[in-house]
Amino acid sequence: MNVYDFVKENKIIAIIRGIDKKDIIPVAEALYDGGIKIVEVTMNTDDAPEMISMLNKKYGDMLYIGAGTVLDIEMASQALDAGAKYFITPNVDEDVISFSLNQNIGIIPGVMTPTEVVNAYKAGAKMVKVFPTSILGSNYIKELQGPLSHIPMIAVGGVRPENISDFINAGAVGVGVGNSLIDKVAIKEGNFRKITEKAKILLEKLKDVHK
């Protein structure tokens, strides 16, 4: 199954950013225990390629593991070598999109405007990341879906338990969740169970999605 189908089926991508290498395995385990199936490690995290490789060795059969904040082909190559199954970017970089397509790797580029949505789609992206939705809100997804409903969109930025169903109901096929799920204080305290609980709450809130 490719990343696009995985996102549509599971809805939530856990965004792992800025944690220590020693914590990557317990964080991933906590996410999996909470029901999360898709994770991305952002490339601006120290030791990101090594973390992706570590995750693949331990959870490659259980988690769909990719790289986020892929800004250029060099980062994309490093992530690919580490075993990333997909790339997510904060912007539309046609070189990265082209590289991904040539390597048969899923690519979800970041967009904000309708022009960027269409340009990313024309460049070959099969799904886009509307970012930052912390500013734009779920209604913006709904407005974009008006003329562009043929382009699957995920919402990233400011997604929390209180609003996750709003984004899905507005037309997003999935969401990326970072800070409200990857609790840095809990990690520092070694309380990985808290991440599991947060994951379960997010998934529970998805039941509020209109059928």
Catalytic residues: 40, 129
> Letter for the amino acid at 175?
V
Query: How is the chain split among helix, strand and coil, in percent rounded to 5?
Result: 50, 15, 35
Three-state DSSP state, 44: coil
| H or E element, residue 9 | helix 3-10
Three-state DSSP state, 51: helix
Q: How far apart are CA 27 and CA 192, in angstroms?
A: 6
- In order of 12, 83, 185, the CA distances from 173 in angstroms are 9, 25, 30
- Sheet (strand 12-16) strand order: 106-108, 86-88, 64-68, 38-42, 12-16, 174-177, 153-156, 128-130, 110-111
